A = this chain, B = another copy of it.
Amino acid sequence: MKVNHHEAIEQQPVEMEGAEGCVVRWLVGEKDGAPNFAMRQFEVAPGGHTPKHRHDYEHEVFVLEGNGLVVDGDADRPLKAGDVIFVQPDDVHQFRNTGDKPMKFLCIVPNSATGKQVTVAPECGTE
């Protein structure tokens, strides 16, 4: 068994194309011997966002703090602490912080996501 406070785990910048103001902690993953899935904690600065993209694996997300939205294809859906989001395989998605404090969420992915192709989706107004 491993027990840690999440803030004791190293935070790294998210360097994917289309990310802005995002950092991530890999709380539990393959390096810990996790056999099936990884738990990551993201923190998005006010005005920041994750990439708008899609991929053939799922996300299960829980919003811990802050306010923002999730882009669901062409729609924006508001988010607040305590919301749960199931991003199904191939859903176009993006998390955006529209508040004035950091938006923090957990995002769980299958280990099989490692190395898989991600398709960047056009931002609204840039198509």
With A27-B84, A28-B86, A39-B84 known as contacts, the answer to whether A6 contacts B58 (CB < 8 A) is: no
Is A79 close to B, CB under 8 A?
yes
Chain B residues within 8 Å of A93, by CB: 1
Is A4 close to B, CB under 8 A?
yes
The complex is assembled from copies of this chain, and their number is: 2
Query: How far in angstroms is the closest Cβ of chain B from A47?
Result: 22
Is A89 close to B, CB under 8 A?
yes
CB of B36 within 8 A of CB of A1, answer: no
Is A99 close to B, CB under 8 A?
no
CB of A36 within 8 A of CB of B39, answer: no
Chain B residues within 8 Å of A35, by CB: 58, 89, 110
CB of A28 within 8 A of CB of B84, answer: yes
Closest 3 CB pairs of A and B: A2-B86, A36-B110, A28-B86
16 more contacts with CB within 8 A, not counting A36-B37, A37-B108, A39-B60, are A1-B72, A1-B77, A1-B87, A3-B70, A3-B72, A3-B79, A3-B85, A4-B84, A5-B80, A6-B82, A9-B84, A27-B60, A28-B60, A36-B112, A37-B60, A106-B106
